[in-house]
Structure 1
Amino acid sequence: MYETITIDTDARGVATLTLNRPDKHNAMSPQMMADLTAAAAQLGGDDAVRVVVLTGAGKSFCAGADLGWMRAQADMDSATRAAEAGKLATMLGVLNALPKPLIGRLQGNALGGGVGMAAVCDVAIGVDTLKMGFTETRLGIIPATIGPYVLARMGEGRARRVFMSARLFGAAEAVDLDLLARAVPAAELDAAVEREVVPYLSCAPGAVAAAKKLARDLGPRINDEVVAHTIAALSARWETEEAAEGIGAFFDKRAANWVR
């Protein structure tokens, strides 16, 4: 049914949603965004599903944006780029609003948009060897569409430690930044995720969904106006000389002219 993801649901109603582009480090393509958007609707509407576990196949959880998609955007006009950014914003929004507990199982690195994917999870557990980072500014662009979700997760103060510098940080710092609830050895990852799953199986599903909605309603505002602002901010950055230089340098495998 899906090209870039898989869904497996066990007898308890625990659905494992797996990003399945291991050869591309589960980088987000337009097809993956469409698949995840559709999967969120499917899982959210399935009364048999009690909990959703989000993970990745292969070495990486999610390496951010697909390189082919990035290259294509460099040649798009601003309206088309905004529409492309809207695809990512829509996908993150429906995962964030999923009326089921969403537990992140980060078996590998999460970069750029992959950090955004972790941030929309209700709780994220990662292996203690992983790296994370908001790498967009190295390319002359900004972590815009993921911004509302990572700021809601981290808070502004924590976010400003890593949101603009593009530096990579490890699992222990990710816990300190509140991007991960816990970091564990790889051999303990499944058991740690299971400990998050089990309590929900004793809870009323409707009450869980209502409690999650209330938490979102009481939390930082993420509405159509905020999402539109992030799309406009990203579209504006794509129009700059820095973005052209950064993206060009990346694909030319050279240092951008601001690197010292």
Structure 2
Amino acid sequence: MDNLVLYNVENRIATITINRPEKRNALNPQLISELTETFIRASEDNGVKIVVLKANGGTFSAGADLEYLQQLQNNTFEENVVDSNNLKKLFTTIYYLPKVVIAQIEGHAIAGGCGLATICDIIFATPESNFGYTEVKIGFVPAIVSCFLKQKVNETIAKEILLTGQTFSADKALQYNLINYVTNSSEIHQTVKKFALSLCKESSGNSLMITKQLINQTTNPLLEKSLEFAVQINARVRESKDFKKGIASFLNKEKINW
């Protein structure tokens, strides 16, 4: 079986590639675990100064996969807390990574996939990319990512995109300050590489690390407390009737009447 996550280092740039294109790079416990381990590997790799996160195939990540959603319906509260903590660990590993993380978004980044993009420090996307936190449409809650999103966009925008669950274009994401650059698909690889190389060559690794820590810790000093609350909310919502109804309808491709 192919590795779900690929790791490559060149010119002090580690490229972490989600490699599940046949499932639109959908998240499941194994992929979440392998991503976390690979980011820790990059963190500890002395030959790495900058990290780029990308995905194979035409979709960055479609969120949770169908088998994963089915499994969640049968989990106990305690199992859901553990599962939510695993997602929290992935997001905080990236957020606190002592190296700059650049996201290269080609194709859609939806739900958990959008959350994964949101956590990164610098985000490039193609014009064709769509973003969205669609959880409310299936009776779920974007609990963990909301703790990070509010630091990137203002409260008005956060409420709009989280409460409506609507998808939006890369241009809108740029307007919202969710991403940094919109780059043509034919150029994004070279543009990201050039940007990463410039950080490698022109900036002190120690200064990049401390500056990232400074920004994160001063803009979001209550993050850990918020995340603990979000994990509990995440697990609790999975026991709700609306979640079970939404997931069942989604899996059966039935229209949900809320």
Name stretches of at least 5 consecutive residues in structure 1 with no aligned partner. none
Give 1:66 deviation, angstroms.
2.0
CA deviations 1:199-245 (Å, max 9, x no partner) are 21122211211111111111123543211100111122112211111
What is aligned with 2:231? 231
Task: Give, as a single letter, the amino acid of the residue that structure 2 aligns with 1:164.
Answer: L
**How many Å separate the matches in 1 of 2:246 and 2:90?**
26
What is aligned with 2:91? 92
Q: Secondary structure at the match of 1:186?
A: coil
Q: Secondary structure at the match of 1:257?
A: coil
Give 1:78 deviation, angstroms.
1.1
**How many Å separate the matches in 2 of 1:187 and 1:164?**
34
Q: Secondary structure at the match of 2:143?
A: coil
Which region of structure 1 is more displaced relative to structure 2, 228-237 or 97-106?
Answer: 228-237
**How many Å separate the matches in 2 of 1:33 and 1:102?**
17
**How many Å separate the matches in 2 of 1:119 and 1:186?**
20
CA deviations 1:50-96 (Å, max 9, x no partner) are 11110000010111112211110101111111111111111111011
What is aligned with 1:179? 178
Give 1:193 deviation, angstroms.
1.1
Which region of structure 1 is more displaced relative to structure 2, 147-156 or 45-54?
Answer: 147-156
For the 8 Å contact 1:3–1:32, the answer to whether it is kept is: no
Moved runs in structure 1, 4+ residues, more than 4 A?
Answer: none
Q: Secondary structure at the match of 1:9?
A: strand
**How many Å separate the matches in 1 of 2:222 and 2:3?**
29
**How many Å separate the matches in 2 of 1:8 and 1:40?**
12
Q: Secondary structure at the match of 1:108?
A: coil
Matches within 5 A, 1:31-42: 31-42=30-41
What is aligned with 1:102? 101
Q: Secondary structure at the match of 1:145?
A: helix
**How many Å separate the matches in 1 of 2:27 and 2:148?**
17
User: TM-score, normalising length from structure 1?
Assistant: 0.94
Task: Give, as a single letter, the amino acid of the residue that structure 1 aligns with 2:73.
Answer: A
**How many Å separate the matches in 1 of 2:198 and 2:150?**
27
Matches within 5 A, 1:148-159: 148-159=147-158
For the 8 Å contact 2:126–2:185, the answer to whether it is kept is: yes
For the 8 Å contact 2:28–2:64, the answer to whether it is kept is: yes
What is aligned with 1:8? 8
Task: Say whether residues 1:204 and 2:224 are aligned partners.
Answer: no
For the 8 Å contact 1:3–1:35, the answer to whether it is kept is: no
What is aligned with 1:25? 24
Q: Secondary structure at the match of 2:41?
A: helix
**How many Å separate the matches in 2 of 1:53 and 1:129?**
20
Size of the aligned set, in residue pairs, is: 257
**How many Å separate the matches in 1 of 2:248 and 2:78?**
21
Identity of aligned residues (%): 24
Q: CA RMSD in A?
A: 1.5
**How many Å separate the matches in 1 of 2:219 and 2:192?**
25
